Amino acid sequence: DTAVSQTPKYLVTQMGNDKSIKCEQNLGHDTMYWYKQDSKKFLKIMFSYNNKELIINETVPNRFSPKSPDKAHLNLHINSLELGDSAVYFCASSLMGLSVGNEQFFGPGTRLTVL
Amino acid sequence: DAKTTQPNSMESNEEEPVHLPCNHSTISGTDYIHWYRQLPSQGPEYVIHGLTSNVNNRMASLAIAEDRKSSTLILHRATLRDAAVYYCILTPLYAQKLVFGQGTRLTINP
């Protein structure tokens, strides 16, 4: 059973389009995250949700809108896609944030290519 | 966020121990030391974490210097599957996020 799953695995789209990436975790965790890994392989946090509430927004453009319908799901919607949005997006989850050293579990990633 | 310094790359041979160093001279008293690794084309995975004492788990050991300004991840017997980028990350108590650096790319020779 996959702990953190993401769909789709690959996404190729044109500039200007709107797309969504879905994430689900079956670990019963309270906190979910979105990270972006760019072409230089730097991994950077974008958003964090705890029990459906936004707790971190790392100065990500407004075109990116996370949505958490319940604590097991955190979807990422991107409007008006730009070339610079091309990256691998990772979803992650953890129990009660990173309190006292809790680990994060990462999904397999979604490779987004904007043409 | 306190910073960590790791070598860009390291190389080792299969079935030999590997010692991956990490310097964190500005660590504060409540910062946990986490290690994650990222295998090719996969998401990062947790390896181990510690606060002050050395830690062992099924994947690795973590040796923390007495002054906590450095730590070493030890893979006791490397396999080809251990080839990955290894990240040493400091997380404050009740941290809300992981801050990844550039990590160490570990190559394992057969």
**DSSP labels, A6-70:** EE-SEEEE-TT--EEEEEEE-S--SEEEEEEE-TT--EEEEEEEETTEEEEE-S--TTEEEEEEE
Best residue of A25, A103, A111 to probe chain B, by most B CBs closer than 10 Å: A103
For an interface test with B, the pick among A29, A98, A110 (most B C-beta atoms closer than 10 Å) comes out as A98
The confidence score (pLDDT) of residue B2 equals 64
pLDDT (tens digit per residue) in A79-102 = 999 999 999 999 999 987 655 667
* CB pair distance less than 8 Å for A107 and B43: yes
Residues lower than pLDDT 70 in chain B: 1-2
Q: What does the pLDDT look like over B18-49, one tens digit per residue? A: 999 999 999 998 899 999 999 999 999 999 99
Predicted confidence at residue B1, as pLDDT, reads 61
